[in-house]
Structure formats: C-alpha cells, structure tokens
Structure 1
Amino acid sequence: EMVQGRIGYKFNIDDTGLTLGMGFTYQNYFINYAFGLVNRLENGHRVSLGVRF
C-alpha cells in the first residue's frame, strides 16, 4: 500500500499553470486523481484506474 502526492507548475503561461495530484497503490492496482487550474474560469479533473501485470 502506498500513497503518492504530486504538485507541479508550468511557467510562461498567461493564466495559472498549477497542478495537484494524488495516487493510491495497492498490490498491482492503482488509482490516480489530478486537478489542474486550466484558466481563471475553468478547472480540469482527471481520474485514472489501472492494473499492472
């Protein structure tokens, strides 16, 4: 079992370039969530599920 945290920032972008994420791993299974500030009016969310084999 493992928990990961992520943070990032893209420079030279007119609006914001901040991204945050979190991931969980259990045996060969994982789930990831990411949040990004796309611009002043929108935010982006991404969820992924996976199996490593």
Structure 2
Amino acid sequence: MSALVWLLIPVAGAVVAAVWSTWATRRSNGARGVRDSAGVEGYEAFRAAMERAPADG
C-alpha cells in the first residue's frame, strides 16, 4: 500500500503541473491579454516611424 502512495505523489504532481501550465498560458481579454495582431500592428508602426527621415533635417 505504501508503494501506491509513493507512486501517487509524482502522478499528483504531474496533474498539478498540467493544470497550472494550462492556467498560466491561457489567453485573456484583460490588460494582460494582448492579441498577436495588435502586437504586430504596433511593431509595424514602430518600424515605419524609425525608417522615416528626421523631421528637423
């Protein structure tokens, strides 16, 4: 019986790790959740601004 308890410990750890990784990598619509398209659009705007000639000469 004690062997089953020792086997249950890593199994329970794997289940907890799977639940945590699913929760940690979820997509949210709040302040933390930035969609990929918004990030790409921001990068494109930044790159376009950096490629322009300086305004003061």
* TM-score with structure 1 setting the length: 0.19
- The structure richer in strand per residue is 1
- The structure richer in helix per residue is 2
Structure with the larger RCO, 1 or 2 (CA within 8 Å, 6+ apart): 1
